[in-house]
Amino acid sequence: MLTDQETRTGTDLYKVLNVDPGADTEVIRAAYRALARRDHPDVNADPAASSKMAELNAAFEVLGDAERRAVYDQSRRALAATTDAPPERPVAPPAEGRAAGPTANRQPLGARAAAQGQSGTVLQFGRYAGWSLAELARHDPDYLEWLARTMIGHAYQEEIDKLLAPRRPRPLSVSTPARGRRGWFGRLLG
């Protein structure tokens, strides 16, 4: 059953708070606080700030409570099943009995994912939770570049390098310049 707020406005409460439907409660709380700081009528002089704040409060009231969020998610799925809207990308549940840490988030794909044409490691965190690295290489290779530079991405470095190898330029061969200077500026100055 949809909430009164959503029935009246026709808005998705997750979109009001700018969070993914699979987001943790902490992420929802942090998004609410950030938006509340920005849109609070005491801070924002915009005449629509009070209505925006009321909308944020109503969304957080539902999504911040686990029971009300579960009811909302169920009614949202039922509504999506009756409309022609494309289905949301399912988020894979975390594996049980695994240790915490970046390597714990690695999960080999099963037969269902392989049948859908996915290959490689599936991410269990972030905005692309449930996506394989191969899908990400096709959809958002810049995210993979970023992931490779982060601490949590080091566990995936080898696979990311293989996926992005066609995209990355080949390294230039460096010849030893005269007078022992190395690099581009050494050749210019030499």
| Greatest mean pLDDT among 8-22, 88-102, 143-157 | 143-157
- pLDDT value at residue 104: 44
Same domain, 117 and 52: no
Domain that holds residue 22: 4-82
Residue 19 domain-assigned (yes or no) = yes
Residue 44 and residue 77 share a domain: yes
Identify the pLDDT of residue 97. Answer: 46
Verdict on whether the full-model pTM lies above 0.85: no
Instruction: Note the pLDDT of residue 132.
Output: 87
Report yes or no: 131 and 121 within 8 Å, Cβ to Cβ.
no
- Check whether residue 160 and residue 109 sit in a common domain: yes
The predicted pLDDT at position 12 comes to: 87
Residue 48: CB partners within 8 Å, gap ≥ 6? none
Residue 71 sits in the same domain as residue 106: no
Closest CA to 20 of 143, 139, 129, 142: 129
Query: Is residue 43 located within the same domain as residue 15?
Result: yes
Q: Answer yes or no: do 70 and 19 share one domain.
A: yes
Same domain for 65 and 112, yes or no, is no
Looking at the structure, do residues 57 and 117 belong to the same domain, yes or no?
A: no
Q: Is residue 76 part of a domain?
A: yes
Residue 95 forms part of a structural domain:
no
Tens digits of residue pLDDT in 5-52: 444 456 789 999 988 888 888 989 999 999 999 888 888 888 888 899
Q: Is the pLDDT of residue 108 over 80?
A: no
Question: For the packed helices 157-164 and 141-149, what is the interaxial angle rounded to 10 degrees?
Answer: 140
Res 116: pLDDT: 55
Does 105 have pLDDT greater than 60? no
Asked whether residue 115 is assigned to any structural domain, the reply reads: yes
Is a pLDDT exceeding 70 seen at residue 85? no
If asked whether residues 61 and 123 sit together in one domain, one would say: no
Residue 90 lies in a domain: no
* CA-derived radius of gyration, the chain: 23
Average pLDDT over residues 134-141: 85
CATH code of 34's domain = 1.10.287.110
Is 120 inside any structural domain?
Answer: yes
79: which residues sit within 8 A by CB, 6+ positions away? 2
Indicate whether 26 and 77 sit together in one domain. yes
Q: What percent of the chain has pLDDT over 70?
A: 63
Q: In the structure, what pLDDT confidence band is assigned to residue 59 with cuts at 50, 70 and 90?
A: very high
In the chain, how many domains are there?
A: 2
Distance CA 4, CA 54 (A): 13
In a domain, 41, yes or no: yes
175 is a domain residue: no
Per-residue pLDDT at 100: 46
The residue among 20, 18, 56 whose CA lies nearest residue 36 is 56
Based on the fold, state whether residues 115 and 73 are members of the same structural domain.
no
Q: 156 pLDDT band (50/70/90 cuts)?
A: confident
Confidence of residue 121 (pLDDT cuts 50, 70, 90): confident
> According to the model, what pLDDT value does residue 141 have?
85
